[in-house]
Each structure stands twice: as C-alpha cells, then as structure tokens.
Amino acid sequence: MPADSWLNNLADAEQQRAATMRRRWASLVFVAYIGFMLLRLDLLLASDTSGQNADGQVSNQLILIGLALLLFFTTWRRQSFADFLGRSWPYVLLLAYCLLSVMWSVAPDIAVRRWVQMVISFWVIWHCCVELGYARTLWLTRNVLMVLLVLNFLTVAFFSRGIHQFQYGLDPGTIGSWRGITNNKNMAGPICCMTILMYLFDKRNVSKTYHALVVLLAAIFLYFTQSKSSMLSLSIAILAGIAISMFDYAGAYKTLVRRVILALLTFPLFLVLVFEKLQPYFDREAFSGRMRIWSTLVLYARDHFWTGAGFSSFWRSGKVSPIFQLTEGWVAELAPAGHNSYFDLLVTIGFPGLVLSVAVLVLYPVWRLLASDTLPAPCRSLLLSIIIFCVFNSLAESQFLDGKGVDQSFLTMTCALIALVPVTRTVNRTFLRCRSAGLQRDRT
C-alpha cells in the first residue's frame, strides 16, 4: 500500500505539473493573440482594406499559424478533441456550413483563406479559454484591456495618429475622433466598451477604486471616439446586465423571462427582413452613409436570398466582388464591409446561414447561460452583457464570423466560457470548479 500510495501521489504531482505548464502556454498564446487582434494587425489581410483589395500578408499569416501550432503542441491532449467537439458541436456545424458555401463562392480561393483564418481564430480562443477557465481568462483579458487603454491615451497625447486626421475616402465626420493605437474609432469604441463591461460586472477580487478608475477612463476615451453605435450598444448591454443580476433566478417566472430575452435577441434579424419596407422613410446618407450601403446589399439579397455570394466573398474580393456589379463610387471602391453583420451574412451565406449564425452565436449560448442555476449572478451579468453588446453593435458594424473582428473574438470567448457551465440543476461542484476554474466561487 505505501508503494501504491507513493506512485499515486507521484502521478498526481505529474498531472498537476503538466496542467500548470498547459495553462502557462495557453496564457502566453491567449495574450499574444488578443493583443494582435486588438491592435488590428489584420492577420490574414493586407493593410489596404478597400473594396478592391483581396491580398494577404504572408508574414501575418505565419504569425497566426505559428500561434496556433504553438498552442497545439504545448496543450493538446488525446481527450481534447472529443471534449472540444462535445462542447462546440453547434459552432462546428456553423463552420461546416460556411465551408459548404465555398462551393458557390465567386472567389473560392479568398473564401477558403478567410475560412481558415476564422477556424484558427475560433479554435485558438476556444481552446485557451477551456485550458485557462473563467477566472484566469477574465484576469488576463482585463489586464490586456487595461494596458491597451493606457497605450491609447499615450498615443493620443504624444502622436498625431491617435486622433483621426483628414484622409481621402474617410468620412469627414470622423475627423477629430480619438482612435488611439488602433486603426479607427470603430475599433477603439468596441474595445472601450468591452473594457467597461469587463470591469463593471463581476468585480470579485478587484479593488473597487481600481475598477472605478478603469471604467471612468474607458468611458472618457469612448466619449471622444464619438462612436455612437458603440455607446448605444453599451447602454443596452449595461441595462441588460443590471436587470439580470436583480432578477430572482429561482423564481416562478424564470421560463417566461428566458423566452422574452431570447425573443428580443431575434429583433435585429427581424429588422433585416423588414428593412426594404422601412427604407423609404430614411435618407440614403443616413447613419454616416450606411443606408446607401444597406440599400445596395438588399438589391443583391433579392436575387441571392438562399445562397449569397459564398462565405466572405462579397467584400474585398477584387474585381470579381459582386459589389462592382451593383454600384460604383465610394461604396464599391472604399467600403471594406457592409457595416451590418446581419446584412453581410445574408449576402454571403444566404438566409439559411444567417439564421444558423444567429441561432449558434446568440440564441444557443444565451439559452445555456439562462438555463444554468449554478452561475453566480456577477458571472451571468458579465457574459450576458457581452453578448447583448455584440448583438446590437452588429447592427452598425460587420463583426460576425470575422476571424479578426473585436466583437467576434469576445463573442467566441464568451461562448467558450458558457460552454463550461452545466445546464442542469444538480451538478457536481468539484467537477464544475475544475472545469470553470473559478465559476463556482462563493458570491462576494
């Protein structure tokens, strides 16, 4: 018995050491990838994001692939693949449908390259979150966002690029808007919003003074970005997070509240479907010119409602891009996307793909989140507020199924953390504590 006990202790120690090493490597890759994504290095696209650009940068492709290979060889285990499929099968189904749409893509080579980017991005974030668990993922993300916030302020203070200057093809209304170290205000805005949400909800083990200071600074920077869509989406997300934290989740109205929330999350999808009837009530230059873009996308969707142009094949596909057959001018030459995730999904993977995307990226994780009785209220508020923000911000920005998008990256992280949470009432707390690495801490 003593010999067996000694061997068991040795095996346990070896397993703990291996788990520690996996978490360290996962932390390194996670911070590196989130840093690249937030700084908008365009991992598979060239710096020119005009409508005619379809090229990628080999160096950036190698960085992305290198991070994925590093994560694979340092953290992969035999049971990882089965565990990954078991938790992420809806997302794998969505990725498979996107790959299927390449069959009718107008630019299959570009579509495949961007699909690979999305798959790598999804797997890297998902696997890192599973290895790190909720508490470590949240801690690392908060610190990366805080460092980026400091860099943004320093860039505005000491470098002219920190504030939008006049640039050909750029909306004159953006001149004077803060962007910091990021590419544009439409990136800086969502990043500030994510910083606010990360420090506003689930404040356990965080100094109140420190948390309040970061939220205040992020709010100030968000104000000077003049990103109205981000501000509005953030307001809705904060209200949703506060409301769900005040709700008695064990009450008799739980099922009704869950259904109401899920129904409200389909509202953006409804707006897309009735947009053509609402179109005459808006000026074509409304919403910073977005109405002109959306009107063009509706024309294409009429004739390609079920199939679309193929995954990620409508914009930045060179001269074969369908946009050049529909219009000309700045919409065709300069617009890098449709500034609406739902319209972009409709014209790329068709209506079935749009419905599947909303179901998998929004409705399914929210259903799991609301179906769990084991989550502390701060966790539920944070995760739900991130999803709510992404849902409504996507009405003005194209982020869904974008491997390098800010919203999509945080949405993937949120979906991965939600996948760790059981939906049953009876749960083995030791198992959940090991899997979630902090989700089952006592409420403080």
For residue 390, the model assigns a pLDDT of 94
For residues 117 and 65, give the distance between their C-alpha atoms in angstroms, rounded to a whole number.
9
Q: How high does pLDDT run on average in the chain?
A: 81
Q: Is the pLDDT of residue 23 over 80?
A: yes
Lowest mean pLDDT among 104-108, 174-178, 305-309, 412-416: 174-178
The total of other beta-carbon atoms located within 10 Å of residue 429's CB is 9
For residue 171, what are the contacts with CB-CB under 8 A and spacing of at least 6? 288, 289
For residues 225 and 203, give the distance between their C-alpha atoms in angstroms, rounded to a whole number.
26
pLDDT confidence bin for 423, thresholds 50/70/90: low
What is the DSSP track for 21-64? HHHHHHHHHHHHHHHHHHTT--TTS-S--STT-----HHHHHHH
Query: What's the pLDDT tens digit per position in 56-96?
Result: 567 677 888 899 999 999 888 766 666 777 778 899 999 99
DSSP state of 163: B
For the chain, what percent of residues have pLDDT higher than 90? 35
For residue 249, the model assigns a pLDDT of 55
Higher pLDDT, 179 or 2: 179
The sign of the torsion formed by the CA atoms of 89, 386, 382, 20 equals positive
Report the Cα 31 to chain-centroid distance in Å. 15
Question: Region 272-278: what's the mean pLDDT?
Answer: 80
Query: What's the pLDDT tens digit per position in 346-372?
Result: 999 999 999 999 999 999 999 888 887
Q: Is the pLDDT of residue 429 over 60?
A: no
For residues 399 and 36, give the distance between their C-alpha atoms in angstroms, rounded to a whole number.
16
Tokens of 95: 């990725």
Q: Is the pLDDT of residue 50 over 80?
A: no
| Residues forming beta bridges with residue 178, ordered by sequence position | 163
Query: What's the pLDDT tens digit per position in 293-304?
Result: 888 898 899 888
Question: Region 233-261: what's the mean pLDDT?
Answer: 77
Q: Is the pLDDT of residue 136 over 80?
A: yes
